[in-house]
Amino acid sequence: MFPLCCGRTINDASKRWCVTGCQYSHPQVSIPWTGWATGRARLTVRLVTTVAAPSLPGIVRELAARAGQHDQDGSFPFEGIELVHSAGLLTSTVHPRYGGQGAGILDTARLLAELGRGDPSVALITAMTLFSHAAQGEQPSWPEEVYRAVLADSARRPVLINALRVEPALGSPSRGGLPETVARRTAGGWSLSGRKIYSTGSAGLEWMVVWARTDEPEPRVGGFLVRAGSPGIEIEPTWDHLGLRASASHDVIFTDVPVEGSLELSTPDSVRPPAALTWQLALPALYLGVARNALDWLVGFLRDRVPSGLGKPLATLPRFETGAGEIAAAIQGAEELLFGLARRLDEGDPGAPARVGVAKVLATRALISAVEQALALAGNPGLTRHSPLQRHYRDILCSRVHTPQDDAVLTALGRTVLGGT
């Protein structure tokens, strides 16, 4: 184990890195997180297609240029996060009362779809921070002075935030049950102990919102704000996944981690607030970008491949024209479903929140099917390790695991249809 100078540890010599104050370094990336001066141009996310200097298309190209290497070695995309930060996108959902742009669900979904074209791991890590700011805007729970300090820090450097909820024994808290992570009362606040799994962003996080129960006779359940540099935090590099390999969704272990009394969230989240549930619709949008990449690769392959016995590109054959059209239609349908419902949520349509789960299920199924069809049309060339198409397929399979999951959504819908409880 290698101690990090911020007090964290990571059990992997190949991924050793260090955090000192505001400076981040990585032996493979060598991108210092210093010199992120205030005063850089802030971008408007509400018109994602017209983002300027640096342009969003330029950011996407830079992310895409490194995505394959990060996928191969599972390294954290520090430079990608820096690009997103420098464009002002990491804080685009900060509420106007805090001086932010207040990007809505539709704008955020569009942004994540574009970032997903570059590097879906960067998009996923970014989404966690965007959702945290959005939740604070809609249902404030952070202490005011702490949150404003986070925003001040965010003007100078990337400040990544994520809510750590999933545990080895409990699984997803959306299924019910009490967390095993325990907060014990101390003279100065709390002492936190437990393990969280699938902690997206892990080693790059600055703030962790840890879902835990108190050790009181009548346990309370809620979130505790933990600074990533606190003593007693260990990151165990367990994330060796099929897809989204650069998301650093490792285990985070808390051993008697001190938490100030003021950092207990004012709003317990034993049941996730409505804001968190509706914003989840923006998450599958990142896989729109992955599916578009798969289609782009297939189009290039079919145009360039000229079998000697045919004498013309595969793209001229009706079979491939139909197949490409079916893939494009599936992607277009998923986009209309996600963006259309996101617009209704932003407009306050009272019937829209109840449709979030079904929209997620239908959209992700369509996108997975689209990429599977691209693989079927490409054959062996699409499955080689050197082909980006196999990476896009691995990444898009991860879309299934996000909350709400298919079985929970469809069982609830079926009960409603059948008149059950």
Give the separation between CA 252 and CA 196, rounded to whole angstroms: 5
**What pLDDT shows up at residue 36?**
30
Please give the pLDDT value at position 275. Answer: 65
Answer yes or no: do 173 and 121 share one domain: no
d(CA 342, CA 81) in angstroms, rounded, equals 25
Q: Is residue 75 a part of any domain in this protein? A: yes
Q: What is the CATH number of the domain that holds 73?
A: 1.10.540.10
Provide the 3-class DSSP secondary structure of residue 39: coil
Question: Is there a single domain that holds both residue 291 and residue 320?
Answer: yes
* Bond from prior residue into 273 cis (ω within 30 degrees of 0): no
pLDDT of residue 193: 98
Residues 206 and 310 occupy one common structural domain? no
Four-CA torsion 136, 142, 147, 148, nearest 10 degrees:
90
Looking at residue 178, what is its pLDDT?
A: 87
Domain boundary among 139, 158, 177: 158
Residues 86 and 109 in one domain: yes
| Residue at 269 is within a domain | no
Q: Which amino acid is at 314?
A: L
Choosing from 112, 143, 158, the residue where a domain stops is 158
Please choose, from the candidates 232, 238, 259, 230, the residue with its C-alpha nearest in 3D space to the C-alpha of residue 166: 238
In a domain, 243, yes or no: yes
pLDDT of residue 421: 56
pLDDT per position as a tens digit, 213-244: 999 888 889 899 999 989 999 999 999 999 99
Q: Cα(331)–Cα(291) distance, rounded to whole angstroms? A: 7
Residue-level pLDDT at 367: 99
* Domain end position, chosen among 142, 158, 174: 158
Q: Which of 102, 101, 90 is nearest to 159 (CA)?
A: 90
The DSSP call for residue 229 is: T
CATH number at residue 353: 1.20.140.10
CA–CA separation, 32 vs 420, rounded Å? Answer: 56
Q: Provide the 3-class DSSP secondary structure of residue 30.
A: coil
pLDDT at 420: 65
What is 322-348 written as a DSSP string? Answer: HHHHHHHHHHHHHHHHHHHHHHHHHTT
In a domain, 268, yes or no: no
Please answer whether residues 113 and 285 qualify as being in contact, where contact means their C-beta atoms are separated by less than 8 angstroms. Answer: yes
Number of domains composing the chain: 3
Furthest-apart CA atoms within the chain: distance in Å: 80
Q: Whole-angstrom Cα distance, residue 64 to residue 333? A: 24
- Residue 48 is predicted with a pLDDT of 40
pLDDT in tens, 53-111: 357 999 999 999 999 999 999 999 999 999 999 999 999 999 999 999 999 999 999 99
Domain contains 290: yes
- Residues of the chain below pLDDT 50: 1-53, 268, 270-271
- Give the pLDDT score at 24: 29
Give, to the nearest 10 degrees, the angle between helix 286-304 and helix 388-397: 150
Shared domain for 385 and 413, answered yes or no, is yes
Q: Are 101 and 92 in contact (CB under 8 A)?
A: yes
Q: What does the pLDDT read at residue 174?
A: 67
Q: What is the pLDDT of residue 272?
A: 56
Which residue in this structure is represented by tokens 């590097």? Answer: 119
The number of residues making up the chain comes to 421
> Does the residue 371 lie in any domain?
yes
Q: Give the domain extent around 15.
A: 2-158
Residue 280 shares a structural domain with residue 257 = no
Do 234 and 355 share a structural domain?
A: no
Please check whether residues 287 and 411 belong to one and the same domain: yes
pLDDT of residue 264: 76
- Between CA 200 and CA 420 the distance in angstroms is 36
> What is the Cα–Cα distance from 119 to 400, expressed in whole angstroms?
18
Residues 215, 252 within the same domain: yes
- Report if residue 227 sits inside a domain: yes
Supply the CATH number for residue 228's domain: 2.40.110.10
For CA atoms 260, 265, 270, 272, give the dihedral sign. negative
Same domain, residue pair 147 and 181:
no
Cα separation, 255 vs 232, in Å, equals: 5
pTM of the model: 0.86
Task: Give pLDDT, residue 263.
Answer: 79
| Same-domain pairing of 154 and 168 | no
Percent share of the chain, pLDDT over 90: 76
Q: Are residues 317 and 383 in the same domain?
A: yes
Structural domain contains residue 12: yes
